[in-house]
Chain A
């Protein structure tokens, strides 16, 4: 799908991007960076799921519940269940406010909660979980969570479980990133240019070749998504026709111009290393007026004054 096709399709149905991200099911990986953050896209996807009537379970590790619910209206907030791993994830507080069992149990508990009906699980963030759980265990739990084991024929389309995972790319090495990437049905990498955010989306549909799509978008304050046109790269600077060009040679403290006499004198000057025919003659026939040069040599005490040519015995 070329970018322009995607946009044309997108402008026809404004919410096409979010729907297509949610349609495939399984694990949707949102890879963000410090410069291009992904939490607003995560919240936009959460809002879309909630508006479709689904229950959304959020495992919140990085932001507080109030901050995550901010910007959502009450209809969405009522469908959102926030599992708080932010306040006391490692049980450091005296009166324990932690979820029992720590992060791993909290993650596994999500599996049991979403027993009936379609559901969306949002993990904010996978980076936090990856820092606190061993990678293989996290991958196994994610695999179980997104119900990859069951054959596509068994699960009814309505019972699909969708797992949205936010991952901060710069925090992990290629190993864990690759492992999570291979688990994902859909992978979204966020970047952008010139103030405009973009998403590179890789769809891994079963029994089809992976497809790559690029969408330019922006998230509105109410967490709905608006598609944008790809910004044109402007290589030439904006031309300023209205500013008069300034002559830099005015108001100088030194002279840039030559008078006629100065120019003649300059042209008639022979450069010292310029080889003209007169110079050639003068060199070949040293005139009487020219003094021959003498070399005065005072030998040192240890000098070897051998007049023989040292190269005589070379058989060349």
Chain B
């Protein structure tokens, strides 16, 4: 995990929250690695729906951040749905067996109920004698890929709704999902998905590239927006903006215009 990101109180021991990670014109996957290692270190049970990269990629980055995904998986703390591998498997299995990515086999990609069933079965709290993990966590990388695979935005919103109702509300766990903002005015589906998710989220971490283009010392800008607070507060207090630079094993954050390279 990146210690500096924790200082923003984004990852306090809050439970029952949906955190939305959003990136625009840049790559926000470093936030996914942050939350993955953070929750593993916090001894939570994690269900990771990894649709974009292979398991070994996340493992490699995780090792730089001090967690071993292989160990966590062997212990039963981490369950990974490797999208790239399963997507091929699904065509070589008997049709009757339910599969989380069942929608890939159907002509009209319907809903994501099988995927939700997978998440629910993975994270359902079981009381057996073993050491209980802390709150369950669902991490999705990423939701925009589902749009590319033919799932409609309303179906993805329904999936996140059910995850929120079960994981956040019922089991007091957390859900963290990454979505891309294409910035394309023509892409209505992506807009509906992003806005619909924003309305559902408690916390939005939005990563943007700099408006002026690529810079060696400042990789982008991070906006933290708190939504759905327990009590209505003025919007003034609800949003913070920082700039960041990604290094090999960490990310450094600083206030706008205060990059060490510039001062």
Contact = CB atoms under 8 A, between A and B. Distances in A.
Interface of A: 34-37, 39-40, 62, 64, 66, 70-71, 86-90, 92, 127, 131-132, 168, 170-171, 173, 192, 195-197, 218-221, 223
Nearest to B154: A131
Contact of B235 (A39, A173, A197, A220): A197
B158 interface: yes
The size bracket of the interface on B is 20 to 34
Given A62-B200, A170-B192, 16 more contacts: A36-B235, A37-B227, A71-B230, A71-B231, A86-B169, A87-B165, A87-B169, A90-B162, A92-B116, A92-B117, A92-B162, A171-B192, A195-B234, A197-B235, A218-B232, A221-B231
Contacts of A35: 235
Interface of B: 111, 113, 116-117, 154, 157-158, 161-162, 165, 169, 188, 191-192, 195-196, 198-200, 227-228, 230-232, 234-236
17 contacts: A35-B235, A71-B231, A87-B169, A90-B111, A90-B158, A90-B162, A92-B116, A127-B199, A168-B195, A170-B192, A171-B195, A171-B199, A192-B235, A195-B236, A218-B232, A221-B231, A221-B232
Nearest to B116: A92
Contacts, number: 63
B200 A132 contact: no
Contacts of A192: 235
A92 B160 CA distance: 13
Contact of B232 (A132, A171, A219): A219
B195 to A, nearest CB: 4
Contacts of A168: 195-196, 199
Nearest to B117: A92
Contacts of A197: 235
A195 B235 contact: yes
Nearest to B157: A131
B199 A88 contact: no
List the 3 closest pairs (A to B, CB-CB), nearest first: A195-B236, A221-B231, A170-B195
A195 B232 CA distance: 12
A32 B198 CA distance: 12
B195 A64 contact: no
A34 B200 CA distance: 9
Contacts of A171: 192, 195-196, 199
A235 B166 CA distance: 48
Nearest to B237: A195
Given A34-B195, A131-B154, A88 B165 contact: yes
Nearest to A220: B232
Contacts of A64: 165, 169
Contacts of A34: 195, 198-199, 227
Contact of A62 (B116, B117, B162, B199): B199
